Chains A and B, each alone.
Chain A
Amino acid sequence: MADVISLSAVAAGQSAILRDYPKAGVAFLRLREMGLLPGTRLKLVRTAPMGDPLEIEVRGYRLTLRRSEADAIQVELTAS
Chain B
Amino acid sequence: MISPAPRVATVGAPTARTPPVYALVGNPNCGKSTLFNALTGLKQKVGNYPGVTVEKKIGTAYSQHGQPLTVVDLPGAYSLAARSPDEAVTRDVLLGRRLDTAAPDRILCIVDATNLERNLYLVHQILDLGRPVILVLNMMDLAAKAGIRIRVDLLEKELGIPVVPCEAAHGKGLVELKVAMSRNDLPLSRHSWSIPAPIAPAVSELQASLVESDRKGPLSARAEALLLLTDQDTVRVAGSTQLSERTLSILHTWQKRWQTQGTDWAASLVGSRYDAIGRLCVEVVGTGAKNLSAVNSSDRIDGVVTHPFWGWLVLGGVMAALFLSIFTLAEYPMNWIDDRVAGLADWVKDVMPQGDLRDLIADGAIAGVGGVIIFLPQILILFFFIGLLESTGYMARAAFIMDRLMNKVGLNGKSFIPLLSSYACAIPGIMATRTIEDPKDRLVTILVAPLMSCSARLPVYLLMIAALVPGEQVPLLTKVGLMLGMYALGTFGAFGFAWLFKRTLFKGQPPLMIMELPPYRLPRIRDVLQQMLERGGLFLKRAGTIILGISIVLWFLSTYPKSPEGTTAQEQMTHSFAGRAGHFIEPAIKPLGFDWQIGIGLIASFAAREVFVSTMSVVFNAQGESDETTPLRQALLAARWPDGTPLFTPLTCISLMVFYVFAMQCISTIAIVKRETNSWRWPLFQLAYMTGTAWVVSFLVFQGGRALGF
In the bound assembly, the distance between CA atoms of A34 and B516 in angstroms comes to: 9
The answer to whether B270 touches A53 (Cβ under 8 A) is: no
The answer to whether A34 touches B118 (Cβ under 8 A) is: yes
Q: B350-375 vs A: 1/0 string, CB under 8 Å?
A: 00000000000000000000000000
The answer to whether B513 touches A65 (Cβ under 8 A) is: yes
The answer to whether B118 touches A53 (Cβ under 8 A) is: no
Contact partners of A60 in chain B: CB under 8 A: 114-115, 117-118
Contact partners of A33 in chain B: CB under 8 A: 78-79, 81, 121, 230, 270
In the bound assembly, the distance between CA atoms of A18 and B102 in angstroms comes to: 42
Which of B397-405, B620-628, B672-680, B694-702 lies at the interface with chain A?
B397-405
Q: A29-48 vs B: 1/0 string, CB under 8 Å?
A: 11111110110000001101
In the bound assembly, the distance between CA atoms of A33 and B308 in angstroms comes to: 31
Contact partners of B114 in chain A: CB under 8 A: 60
Across the interface, name the chain A residue whose C-beta is closest to B146.
A60
Contact partners of B405 in chain A: CB under 8 A: 50
The answer to whether B232 touches A66 (Cβ under 8 A) is: no
In the bound assembly, the distance between CA atoms of A6 and B270 in angstroms comes to: 22
B505 at the interface (CB under 8 A from A): no
A14 shortest CB reach to chain B, Å: 16
The one of B302, B513, B518 in contact with A53, judged by C-beta atoms closer than 8 angstroms, is: B513
Interface size of B as a range: 35 or more
In the bound assembly, the distance between CA atoms of A14 and B342 in angstroms comes to: 65
In the bound assembly, the distance between CA atoms of A32 and B114 in angstroms comes to: 20
B496 at the interface (CB under 8 A from A): no
The answer to whether B401 touches A50 (Cβ under 8 A) is: yes
In the bound assembly, the distance between CA atoms of A35 and B120 in angstroms comes to: 10
B153 at the interface (CB under 8 A from A): no
Contact partners of B115 in chain A: CB under 8 A: 59-61
The answer to whether A29 touches B230 (Cβ under 8 A) is: yes
The answer to whether B513 touches A66 (Cβ under 8 A) is: yes
The one of B81, B307, B513 in contact with A64, judged by C-beta atoms closer than 8 angstroms, is: B513
Residues in B224-272 with C-beta less than 8 Å from chain A: 230, 232-233, 264, 266-267, 270-271
The answer to whether A59 touches B510 (Cβ under 8 A) is: no
A71 shortest CB reach to chain B, Å: 13
The answer to whether B516 touches A35 (Cβ under 8 A) is: no
* Known pairs A48-B306, A52-B407, A62-B517; A37 contacts B270 (CB<8 A): yes
A20 shortest CB reach to chain B, Å: 12
Contact partners of B78 in chain A: CB under 8 A: 30, 33-34
In the bound assembly, the distance between CA atoms of A26 and B509 in angstroms comes to: 10
The answer to whether B404 touches A30 (Cβ under 8 A) is: no
B2 at the interface (CB under 8 A from A): no
The answer to whether A49 touches B79 (Cβ under 8 A) is: no
B312 at the interface (CB under 8 A from A): yes
Contact partners of A38 in chain B: CB under 8 A: 271
Contact partners of B232 in chain A: CB under 8 A: 26, 29
Q: B292-320 vs A: 1/0 string, CB under 8 Å?
A: 00000001001000111001100000000
Q: A43-80 vs B: 1/0 string, CB under 8 Å?
A: 00110111111010001111111101100000000000
In the bound assembly, the distance between CA atoms of A23 and B271 in angstroms comes to: 13
The answer to whether B266 touches A29 (Cβ under 8 A) is: yes
The answer to whether A49 touches B306 (Cβ under 8 A) is: yes
Contact partners of A59 in chain B: CB under 8 A: 115, 117-118
6 closest A-B pairs by beta carbon, nearest first, are A50-B404, A62-B517, A49-B308, A33-B79, A32-B270, A26-B233
- What are 23 A-B contacts defined by CB distance under 8 Å? A23-B267, A30-B78, A30-B83, A31-B514, A33-B78, A34-B78, A37-B270, A48-B400, A48-B403, A48-B404, A49-B401, A50-B404, A52-B407, A55-B306, A55-B400, A59-B117, A61-B115, A61-B518, A63-B514, A63-B517, A64-B400, A65-B512, A69-B514
Further 5 A-B residue pairs, CB within 8 A, beyond A29-B81, A48-B403: A23-B264, A26-B509, A32-B266, A46-B306, A64-B513
Listed in ascending order, the chain A residues whose CB lies under 8 Å from chain B are 21, 23, 26-27, 29-35, 37-38, 45-46, 48-53, 55, 59-66, 68-69
